[in-house]
């Protein structure tokens, strides 16, 4: 569990990678803070974490995201390129 949480702390998220927002580009870590308390081998442990503030701000603006149909995504899960193409096309459907 520790290693996967370390991976989330070191995971860097870039935004505006498609240049849809010409105002800004940036990057931030997925988790700003993580702590494990207790025995992590076979027993109960408490995991405390804090999301980076840009993630919390992004959640407040749902118009940044495309609404994706989970049934369609499930059908496309075997092909990562079809999955990614669906996401991009769904985002630009009204243009």
Q: What is the pLDDT of residue 2?
A: 72
Q: Are 25 and 16 in contact (CB under 8 A)?
A: yes
Q: What is the pTM of this model?
A: 0.47
Helix (H, G, I), strand (E, B) or coil at 61: coil
19 vs 25, which has greater pLDDT? 25
pLDDT tens digits along 24-33:
788 888 888 8
Q: Count of alpha carbons within 13 Å of 71, Cβ hemisphere only?
A: 0
Tens digits of per-residue pLDDT, 36-82? 888 766 678 888 988 888 778 777 877 766 777 888 888 887 777 88
Residue 95: pLDDT band (50, 70, 90) is low
């Amino acid at each position: 569990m520790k290693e996967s949480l370390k991976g989330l702390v070191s995971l860097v998220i870039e935004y505006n990678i498609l240049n849809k927002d010409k105002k800004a580009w940036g990057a931030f870590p997925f988790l700003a803070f993580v702590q494990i308390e207790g025995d992590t081998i076979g027993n109960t442990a408490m995991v405390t974490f804090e999301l980076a503030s840009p993630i919390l701000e992004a959640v407040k603006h749902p118009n940044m995201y495309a609404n994706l149909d989970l049934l369609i995504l499930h059908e496309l899960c075997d092909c990562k390129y079809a999955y990614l193409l669906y996401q991009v096309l769904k985002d630009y459907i009204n243009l």
